[in-house]
A and B are shown apart, each in its own frame.
Chain A
Amino acid sequence: MEKTPKWIDVALIPLLNLLIAFVISGIVVLLIGENPIEAIRVMVDGSLGSPYGWGYTLYYATNFIFTGLAVAVAYHASQFNIGGEGQATLGGLGVALVLLMVPWPNWYLALIGAMIGGAVFGAAWAAIPAYLQAKRGSHIVITTIMFNFIAASLLNYMLVNVLRPRGSMDPATARFPAATHLPTFHDMPLIGQFFGKSVPANVSFFIAIVACFLVWGLIWRTRLGFAIRAFGRSEPAARYAGISPVKIVMAAMLISGALAGLMATNNVMGEAHRLVLNSVEGAGFIGIAVALMGRNHPFGVFLAALLFGFLYQGGGELALETSIPRELITVIQALVILFTGAFDNMLRGPIEQFFVARANARKEA
């Protein structure tokens, strides 16, 4: 059997899918009477055209890297973790509790504490569906989805009844002490001069990059990663090898939940400086698309997260500067998800056939 070159699989097909999504989005923009070229210009300008835009694009991308990695790790153990949203919500709760209850002397100690808090809470939230899957066979997709709703309600209760400062009308925690505020890109040496004071991108972006490397090492360099991949590819073979399904499902889901929980260092600790309702804003679900598009490889997740960061920020600008409604941005995002994720196999077959046929023809000639 002929094999298609790898670059087709990892580069050409995703790019073509993206192109189709943009073309269809363009047609939709045209239909509502706006100029698609102008729309693209606004999006690129607003997200990539200025340090200000980059500051937001990278901030969103940081969220998506964490949730994308979370989905990817679980995927390698053939677990579909749809609960990134809830796990990131709980991660936010963990981060808020750590930052409010401990008088941190400086931001980097606070960051370490917050990372532990976010990861532990996120992992704990993933642990329950993982246990139900591993021991009882309850399907992880169902349980993680339900846990998203429970997480939202739990956060609501905690904010309204427990964490809301006395006298405040706002269902949110008190602001975190200034000592715990993370340095933004503006505060950093060398690059700081380019970024304005208000950019939200912060050191969490670099933590996300480190997380990419660590996940890569975990999956492809460690014993645990070996066992996770083996289990994900073939459960009977894993049983033959003595790899415990219960342990693998638990381990993969705990790591996945911890990664989702770590997202809170970016949005809660790095940007909002307090915990508010619906702090995750759908990033958990975007993570699914990011992992799909990034083929569950940390590097792919990184690139896909940048793309979705661009879509998020560019979309925001589009709503601001044109009469294209905010909802249309959601449509464009949905189209990208649809084509890079769900319809991925639509192009794959014909393109692979084309290259195989071409290779065969060349061989005969």
Chain B
Amino acid sequence: MQADQNTTKAGRQATAAPAAKSVATPTGAPAIELKGISKAFGTVQANKDISIRVMPGTIHGIIGENGAGKSTLMSILYGFYKADAGEIWIKGKHTQIPDSQAAISAGIGMVFQHFKLVQNFTVLENIILGAEDGALLRPSLNKARRELKRLAEEYELNVDPDEKIEELSVGHQQRVEILKALYRQADILILDEPTGVLTPDEADHLFRILNHLKDEGKTIILITHKLREIMETTDTVSVMRRGEMTATVSTSETSPEHLAELMVGRKVLLNVAKTKANPGRTVLEIENLKVRDEDGVERLRGINLQIRAGEILGIAGVSGNGQSELLEVLGGFANGTGTIRLNGEELDLTGKHSDGQSRRAKGIAHVPEDRHHLGLILDFAAWENMVFGYHSDPAYQKNRLVMDNAGITAHTQEAMNRFDVRPPIPTLPAKSFSGGNQQKIVLAREIERNPDLLLVGQPTRGVDIGAIEFIHKRIVELRDQGAAILLVSVELDEIRALSDRIAVMFDGQIMGERAPEDTDEKELGLMMAGVVK
């Protein structure tokens, strides 16, 4: 915690320092200045006292993991959310942004990760949508056509104005979004994870466009979790972690590994009492596993891994590099190609002959990364969650028709005592428990099945310190009983403390494997950034 505060402070000083040196044209007031922005959703503090200055005519990167609060911050700036506290200053003026119209008139344009385009309208129609000059469309369309031609020449933003959106490639659709913002006279452009859906070529083109825009004096905020993009395109970069702005630095004065460290963060040193692993037979073999997402983007690009009984394999990496997809395929609720063998038996990856139930029956237990959306049903009582996924188990049935609710409740009571879930009340809905206690419920459910293979994603995300130690102890205990464990975490310290072997994932591939005693944070950081194999 202490370290956190120091970096934050250092970050603020860096921000407060007179306009970063590397900035191209540091003229006068910042294009955007946020002062002490805070925003909470229920008990979750998405943004904590965030201050940032973006100088005009620069590309300013905001980097952080999924869930660090980047998008929330930008949504506040664009008027989608109202901040609980803090001020927004635009071009030196204190500005209220109650809705996106206000943001647009303040000169802010936003390109969302998921485009907001009408699929069966033409490019031109999309451009003028919401910015029509009058009841008749023709004059607006003509004006937009002229303007579009000018913008295309000026910024290498070529799109056929009469093509329908659905006929365009993703990269071209994104250009339409940028054109929309420019047509509305935006001189501050926010791009949210713009390269997530692009091919490398398209991404290169996008960055050329952004540089053109910068040369013309536009200000660009680039939100991403990809270190390489930040290093290649930005002038200044701010790092966010868990809702806080941990640092703002000149890109030329930083390095990928330093940024990775700031993003992932250090925690109090984790002490896990564990003996040396005593690996037995091979439990899990993965060969050339590939997964594509709905948009056809390859998220896993040929993964090869092995895990033996009685060892913990830790997967390190910045989140969003394919770890989630790996867990989903193994857990049986996403499809892929390649080969996965469990105890020598090949698993079905097509989803036709397998699902979460059959994976469980084969001895794979799964503590998912996102316990709120996957691991638990928040409205269900603790006892219902305690058998969720195993509810067809004969042990939980009273007879052929009816579930043994009383028996399950009693079993839950015992499990809650064993796992120190507080309060130990089986009838309380899952949403009433704290993050740590929710995770203990999931963990109790999965560990007490004595699985051959345990998949664990982010076991201690949003979990208080006391529970972290407890959860780590249980995972090591399960290993010592002879289970194979696949641990995915973005907390490098957690990976290093728990793992018997560490594999680093970057961009859907395994960059390499290391023994924890033979490596250090620096090397792992470089591997996570995709710099070193």
Residue of A with least CB distance to B356: A242
Find the residue from B375, B376, B392 having the highest chain A CB count within 10 A. Answer: B392
Contact with B along A4-39 (1 / 0, CB 8 A): 000000000000000000000000000000000000
Measured in the bound complex, the distance between the Cα atoms of B377 and A243 in whole Å is 13
Q: Which of B355, B375, B378, B403 contacts A242 (CB 8 A)?
A: B355
User: Which residues of B, 385-431, contact A by the 8 Å Cβ criterion?
Assistant: 388-389, 391-392, 397, 401-403, 405
- Evaluate whether A241 and B388 lie within 8 angstroms (CB atoms) in the complex, with A230-B380, A233-B377, A234-B373 already known: yes
Find the residue from A236, A237, A239, A243 having the highest chain B CB count within 10 A. Answer: A237
Residue of B with least CB distance to A244: B355
Residue of A with least CB distance to B328: A240
Contact with B along A236-260 (1 / 0, CB 8 A): 1101111110000000000000000
Measured in the bound complex, the distance between the Cα atoms of B397 and A222 in whole Å is 9
B53 at the interface (CB under 8 A from A): no
Task: For residue A327, give the distance in angstroms from its CB to the closest CB of chain B.
Answer: 40
Q: Which of B332, B355, B375, B391 contacts A227 (CB 8 A)?
A: B391
We find that the number of chain A residues with CB closer than 8 angstroms to chain B is 18
Measured in the bound complex, the distance between the Cα atoms of B358 and A222 in whole Å is 20
**Which B residues are in CB contact (< 8 Å) with A230?**
377, 380, 388
**Which B residues are in CB contact (< 8 Å) with A244?**
355
Q: Is the CB of A242 within 8 A of B402?
A: no
Measured in the bound complex, the distance between the Cα atoms of B331 and A233 in whole Å is 20
- Evaluate whether A223 and B391 lie within 8 angstroms (CB atoms) in the complex, with A239-B333, A240-B333 already known: yes
**Which A residues are in CB contact (< 8 Å) with B373?**
234, 236-237
- Evaluate whether A236 and B374 lie within 8 angstroms (CB atoms) in the complex, with A230-B380, A230-B388 already known: yes
Residue of B with least CB distance to A217: B402
A221 at the interface (CB under 8 A from B): yes
**Which B residues are in CB contact (< 8 Å) with A236?**
373-374
**Which A residues are in CB contact (< 8 Å) with B375?**
237, 240
Residue of A with least CB distance to B43: A1
**Which B residues are in CB contact (< 8 Å) with A229?**
380
Q: Is the CB of B374 within 8 A of A242?
A: no
Contact with B along A308-341 (1 / 0, CB 8 A): 0000000000000000000000000000000000
A226 at the interface (CB under 8 A from B): yes
**Which A residues are in CB contact (< 8 Å) with B379?**
233
Q: Which of A223, A237, A239, A243 contacts B403 (CB 8 A)?
A: A223
B301 at the interface (CB under 8 A from A): no
Q: Is the CB of B401 within 8 A of A222?
A: yes
Q: Is the CB of B356 within 8 A of A241?
A: yes
- Evaluate whether A237 and B358 lie within 8 angstroms (CB atoms) in the complex, with A221-B405, A222-B401 already known: no
Q: Which of A217, A223, A233, A242 contacts B389 (CB 8 A)?
A: A242
Q: Is the CB of B374 within 8 A of A240?
A: yes
B357 at the interface (CB under 8 A from A): yes
- Evaluate whether A222 and B366 lie within 8 angstroms (CB atoms) in the complex, with A227-B391, A239-B356 already known: no
Q: Is the CB of A242 within 8 A of B388?
A: no
Q: Which of B331, B359, B374 contacts A237 (CB 8 A)?
A: B374
Q: Is the CB of B377 within 8 A of A237?
A: yes
Residue of A with least CB distance to B387: A226
B384 at the interface (CB under 8 A from A): yes
**Which A residues are in CB contact (< 8 Å) with B366?**
240
Task: For residue A362, give the distance in angstroms from its CB to the closest CB of chain B.
Answer: 21
Q: Is the CB of A226 within 8 A of B355?
A: no
Residue of A with least CB distance to B361: A242
**Which A residues are in CB contact (< 8 Å) with B402?**
217, 221-222
Measured in the bound complex, the distance between the Cα atoms of B391 and A314 in whole Å is 47
Measured in the bound complex, the distance between the Cα atoms of B366 and A184 in whole Å is 57
Q: Is the CB of B403 within 8 A of A240?
A: no
B360 at the interface (CB under 8 A from A): yes
Q: 13 A-B pairs, CB-CB below 8 angstroms? A: A221-B401, A221-B405, A230-B388, A233-B377, A234-B373, A237-B374, A239-B355, A240-B331, A240-B389, A241-B356, A241-B389, A241-B391, A243-B357
Contacts beyond the supplied A233-B379, A236-B374: 9 A-B pairs with Cβ under 8 Å: A221-B405, A223-B397, A223-B403, A237-B373, A237-B374, A237-B375, A237-B388, A240-B356, A242-B358
